[in-house]
Structure 1
């Protein structure tokens, strides 16, 4: 069973690897962690990503623009926050 902390670590690692100019899709994270069951677990991945966004660790975007995570509609992307980028 994948713990929420593992989801968080994976989101941060992938977002950091891509840097602040590129993003990752929550489905990529879900596929990495859950294999064939990734669709069932997308809600968990999105919720963890929203929590990381609220903590200022990542930015959730749509069409490259940061969004209000209280009103998400449609697909989103996850980017590392400028403050969190550890690969500099």
Structure 2
């Protein structure tokens, strides 16, 4: 199993930066971080970063920095199927 690389760290940083730019209590979609990092890397294939964005959100959940929800309920971003939202941990 591979370690955490620069793209993974960039996704974590992007998630936190996007949340910091939002009003308190607002959430983001992991695709927003994937799009931002893909653009920073000069890539058009942001969808290829979606699994990595969910893993980044999972690491941030483990670190107590964010909460991931689906339909308003906390979920594991690695096992949830369908759209999820990421917000600051309280």
TM-score when normalising by structure 2: 0.78
How far apart are the structure 2 equivalents of 1:70 and 1:38?
18
Greater RCO, 1 or 2 (C-alpha within 8 Å, sep 6+): 1
Q: Name stretches of at least 5 consecutive residues in structure 2 with no aligned partner.
A: 1-5
Q: Deviations over 1:38-81 (max 9, x none)?
A: 00111111101111011110000012221244631211010011
Higher share in helix? 1
Which blocks of at least 5 consecutive residues in structure 1 are unaligned?
Answer: 83-88
Count of residues paired in the alignment: 82
Distance 1:80 1:29 in 2: 14
CA RMSD of aligned residues (A): 2.0
